[in-house]
Structure 1
Amino acid sequence: MKKFEAILNGKAHLVILLFSFLFVSMQSFAFQPSDIKYVEYKGEVVNARNGRPISSAYLALNNSNISTITNSDGEFSLKVPEDLTEATVTISVLGFQSKTLPLSYFQSANTRIELDETVEELSEVSLYKATNPELLVKEMLSKKDENYLTDQSLMTGFYRETIKKGWSNVSLSEAVVKIFKNPYNSYKRDMVSLYKARKSTDYNKLDTLALKLRGGPYNTLYLDMMKYTEYVLRPGMVESYEFKFDDPAKINDRYTYVVEFKEIDESDPWYYGKLFIDAETSTLVKAEYSLNVDNRDAAEAMFVKKKPNGSKVYPTELNYQVDYAQDDGKWHYAYGKAQMEYVVNWKRKIFNSKYKIDSEMVVTDYEEYVSDDWKKTVDLINPNIVMVDDVSGFADSEFWGSNNIIEPDKSIQNAIDKINRKND
């Protein structure tokens, strides 16, 4: 299975475990509230031309490590210490001009931020010197130690995982996590502690199958392509890809090369996508990529570890995204998203069951952390963790404390309300 053996050993991707019985393990995690008082601002980010919502727009509180991201409806929730009244917030997303606004512009609800589309013609900018996309990718990989964090840090993140059967939401898991992030020039893996989690699942719609995701928050953390280069763009295997330039782009007011890549060998599931590389520093600032799983037998062997008799289970679509943020000239993982669709085909049933799994994590704060004491005071989760049911999570009005979260999508919120009414 060539490259996929390394991928599976590293647990970089979702692996489905399907059982004919239900099993959910219970765990408890400590949550430590802060004495700092916060002010919450809510609103939406939209296209100035047509008013359509902009998803995955990044909101960063300047001169701090606080940030959040909009959901698929363009909505956001941003919590800021109440003493930072003179702060400014920068809003940025690919394809739109960045905007910086004073905090006084934001309201507790219904804040509307309009972004203009990027219309600047970038292909003729003299800054672009690279002519060979493969050499540019090699330079990007060789500058990892120079461009990314070289100190260990402690990050706060928000993780969400949703499961849909057809068009219906059947499961939602959310968590506030702490990430012990090792330097990019270190081979040590990152570690995660789950501070607080909540989950609501309608098991009656899961075909009496317990669906477990191996990895939980690690699924999105392992998308950090520059930390875990062994999973996709391993330096020694760059020659196994085809590269070509797409039209250049502008991200956070910085010019970027856009490099399309595709694996040459298509006998097994193969990667393809786009790399957004900073033109001045050769830093990877964003990646959007997919795994082609047209070969169903190979995909099933790769992802499905166990299944009930009389069924065939295989993924049909796998899409990934990773975004990086810069602080004091160094870049770090800021956002990861994985989307997976798969089919359960029963021999004695006329219709297939189709599932869609979305998981995403945004880093909302981070700080340098030179000590190892933190690892001794918390319960680190295993990369194989299953997101557990927390029956009190949705009823806890103080659940999130001061943590910035991804504002729930309308469809997700409706699913939560329906499941809660059913459980009352």
Structure 2
Amino acid sequence: MSSQTSLSILNKKSSALLLFGLCTLAMLIPINASAFQQNDTAVDFNQYSGEVTEESSNKPLVFATLTVEGTNISTITNTEGNFLLKVPREHINKNVVVSFLGYKTKMIPIASLEPEKNEISLEVSVTQLSEININAPKDALALVKETLKNRDENYFEDPTLMTAFYRETIKRRRRNVSLAEAVVNIYKTPYSSFREDAVELYKARKSTDYSKLDTVALKLQGGPYNTLYVDMMKYPEYIFSEEALSNYKFTFDRSTRTNDRLIYVIKFNQYPGIYEPLYQGELYIDVENKVLTSAIFSLNITDRKKAAQLFVRKKPARVDVWPTEVSYRVDYREKDGKWHYGYSSVFMEFKVDWDDKWFNSQYSMTAEMAITDWEKNINGDRPRYRERIKKSIILSDEASGFSDPNFWGEYNIIEPEKSIESAIRKIQRQLRRDERNSD
């Protein structure tokens, strides 16, 4: 497989944008207040919320991980550092482990947490220069190759059933116009297997106000698959196939620590003279164990027309659409010496230019997914094909409204940002007005 083909597969599977010209009113969907009413059941979990910050500056730590000690239950902080953690009461005598790359891990007794407004601060982990000089590998590319080669030993070797929370948002400039969330089951195959993962939709809801999109509506195709395929240790062929590696220059940048492990940061970028839109970013590798713990990277938009061909599936003929930014993140977690996919996100920003308008519009899409619980899938069971999410899914078309505040029950989710909460309320009010006007 050539590097050019690998790039095409990555983008087709991980991200897709659809633009439709439409009549605004035709797409307005009134909220069904009874869409997700749940049966009254005894609550057998405790809920805790709060904020994780840096100790010295008090700035919020984005995507910090909170895990219930000795379990597979976890969540992450949102873009404002806030978290929401639901813990079954059988585990309230345990600790919650709070970790973030480059900071000292903290263990906090769950019994000491308040239901709300918990403030957790982490201290920066300092790495000694002498330690770096002694242990520094000599060849960044060789370290990357060895890390990819060792994935069968370092990552999950058993079929695993994961519970995940998935969210996608669409904004026109700074205003949210579409929000969709879901709890999904991921039937994760071993990292040594070439068999792809399967995804099953469990719960989903959405809130959309197409009136804020003027004469076009943007829809993200692929749903949870947008984030699942960012797991580059499971799907290295989509970015770092053996052929594609030669297109990149890898260099050591700096080192940091997490969970008392020495982590090297390796920068990569495509070589000059390669004009296909490839990638640039950073790999965070545990040097001692040759494990990729995180990766943050983005598309090099060297040719906006070629970049548009990778992402835009459908659009009106008189509209020019191209991406101005496409970026990715993936984080891995460790349990009993084995690593697994824990969180990933995709951010895409587009310009939409109409032939008959003086000014263009700017839209952005964000998709993120976090593993909140998992267990070994001993029999390797997988859902039947008709029960699986199709890779062509448009989640905002499949989900219903934001109607039930207790919709998620005991499931851990990513705490909504204040802007998202505000947008949901405004969208709901708009949809209710439209519903009344149509009566």
The alignment's TM-score, normalised by the length of structure 2, stands at 0.90
Q: CA deviation at 1:14?
A: 1.4
Q: Is the 8 A contact 1:123 1:247 kept in 2?
A: no
Select 1:258's aligned residue among 265, 269, 284. 265
Q: 1:41 to 1:398 in 2, by over 3 A?
A: same
- Residues 206-233 of structure 1: per-residue CA shift (max 9 Å, x gap): 2332322121111011000000011111
Q: Equivalent residue for 1:113?
A: 120
Percent sequence identity over matched residues? 44
Shift of 1:33: 11
| Shift, 1:205, TM fit | 1.6
CA contact (8 A) 1:29 1:379 kept: no
Contact 2:352 2:360 in 1 (8 A): yes
| RMSD (Å) for aligned C-alpha atoms | 2.6
Query: For residue 242 of structure 1, what is the amino acid of its counterpart?
Result: K
Report the equivalent of 1:54.
61
Structure 1 residues 144-159: aligned runs within 5 Å: 144-159=151-166
Deviation at 1:202, TM superposition (A): 1.2
Contact residue 97 and residue 117 of structure 1 kept, 8 A: yes
Which residue identity lines up with residue 260 of structure 2 in the other structure? D
Decide which moves more: 173-182 or 365-374.
365-374
* Aligned counterpart, 1:21: 22
Aligned pairs for 1:24-103 within 5 A: 37-103=44-110
Structure 1 moving runs of 4+ over 6 Å: 22-26, 28-36
Residues 307-333 of structure 1: CA distance to partner in whole angstroms, max 9, x if unpaired? Answer: 112210000001110000111111110
Correspondence for 2:312 among 294, 304, 320: 304
Post-superposition Cα deviations, 1:336-387, rounded to whole Å, max 9, x if no partner, equal: 0111100001121111110111111000000000225451498210111001
Whichever residue aligns with residue 258 of structure 1, its letter is V
Alignment counterpart, residue 363 of structure 1, candidates 350, 368, 371: 371
User: In 1, Cα distance between the equivalents of 2:41 and 2:72?
Assistant: 16
Counterpart residue type for residue 327 of structure 1: K
1:392 deviates by: 5.4
1:207 and 2:199 matched: no
> Cα distance 1:310–1:399, how it changes in 2: closer, same or farther (>3 A)?
same
**3-state SS, counterpart of residue 301 of structure 1:** helix
Q: How many residue pairs were aligned?
A: 423
Give matches, 1:274-293, under 5 Å. 274-293=282-301
Q: Which has the higher helix share?
A: 2
Whether the 8 Å CA contact 1:24–1:388 is kept in 2: the answer is: no
Q: Distance in 2 between matches of 1:333 and 1:391?
A: 25
User: In structure 2, what residue type is equivalent to 1:256?
Assistant: I
Is 1:221 paired with 2:222? Answer: no
Contact 2:180–2:399 (CA under 8 A) maintained in structure 1: no
3-state SS of the aligned residue for 2:14?
A: coil
- In the alignment, structure 2 segments of 5+ residues that lack a partner are 30-34, 433-439
User: Residue 130 of structure 1 aligns to a residue in which SS?
Assistant: coil
Shift of 1:125: 3.9
The 5-angstrom pairing of residues 174-189 of structure 1 reads: 174-189=181-196
CA drift at 1:13: 2.7
Residue 283 of structure 2 aligns to a residue whose secondary structure is strand
Structure 1 residues 381 and 37: alpha-carbon distance in aligned structure 2, compared to 1, 3 A threshold: same
- Structure 1 letter corresponding to 2:307: A
1:124 matched residue in structure 2: 131
User: How far apart are residue 423 of structure 1 and its match?
Assistant: 2.0
- Shift in alpha-carbon separation, 1:99–1:268, aligned structure 2, 3 A: same
Compared with structure 1, are the counterparts of its residues 29 and 147 closer, same or farther at alpha carbon in structure 2 (3 Å cutoff)?
farther
* Structure 1 residue ranges without an equivalent (≥5): none
Inter-partner Cα distance in structure 2 for 1:323 and 1:163: 23
Q: Note if 1:383 corresponds to 2:383.
A: no
C-alpha spacing 1:13/1:392, structure 2 compared with 1 (3 Å): closer
Residues 1:12 and 2:30 aligned together? no
- Aligned counterpart, 2:437: none
Mean alpha-carbon deviation: is it higher for 12-21 or for 141-150?
12-21
The answer to whether the aligner puts 1:411 opposite 2:419 as a matched pair is yes
Which range is displaced more, 241-250 or 47-56? 47-56
> How far is 1:5 from its partner?
3.4
Matched, 1:161 2:162: no
Return the alpha-carbon distance in structure 2 between the equivalents of residues 166 and 345 of structure 1.
14
Residue 423 (1) aligns with residue 424 (2)? no
Decide which of 342, 347, 355 is 2:350's aligned counterpart.
342
Distance across 2 between alignment mates of 1:423 and 1:209? 18
